[in-house]
Amino acid sequence: NMLSRWTNFLTTDGEKPERNRDMEFVMLPETTRDEMIAYWERGWKCVFDAVEPLRPDDLMRTVRIRGQDHTVVQAINRQLAHYAYHAGQIVYLAKHFRSSEWQTLSVPKNKSAEFNARMSVRSPRVSKG
């Protein structure tokens, strides 16, 4: 998805004819972790290479995704939401497979009060007066 969406982002439809969506979900038994990470990194590099050169006047330009017009801002937001969705899927599966060995990515369960107390010591609230 990343390679299709972000290659020639401003000038071609984000759904490239050569994209084989079904194969994006295939991981062969011989696929190594390093190969998966390289594929992941290649996708993110494509995203950042497309976004970094954008100028403020590019943000309201029109781009197409699957034949539908989007402003650049809309297209970026669409993709960020899509990536967040998939990141959540990855975390959910990782948590499932690690089971009791899972280490939370944020505040541990039943530790919110402790976390909040620690954070308030770090950055005390400014009183309004």
Mean pLDDT over residues 104-128, rounded? 82
Residue 127 covered by a domain:
no
E strands, 60-125, where? 62-65, 68-71
Contact (CB, 8 A) for 27 and 36: yes
Range of the domain at 94: 2-102
Residues 6 or more apart in contact with residue 54 via CB below 8 angstroms: 72
Residue 45 neighbours by CB distance under 10 Å: 13
Strand partners for 62: 71
Statement: the pTM of the whole predicted model exceeds 0.75: yes
Q: Kindly report, residue by residue over 17-43, the tens digit of the pLDDT.
A: 898 888 887 889 999 999 999 999 999
Residue 118 covered by a domain:
no
Backbone angles phi, psi at 18, to 5 degrees: -85, -5
Residue 71 neighbours by CB distance under 10 Å: 14
Residue 11 covered by a domain:
yes
Q: Kindly report, residue by residue over 45-95, the tens digit of the pLDDT.
A: 999 999 999 999 999 999 999 999 999 999 999 999 999 999 999 999 999
DSSP label at 71? E
Residue 75 covered by a domain:
yes
- How much is the pLDDT for 21? 86
The CA angle 54-58-59, to the nearest 5 degrees, is 95
Strand partners for 112: none
Domain count within the chain: 1
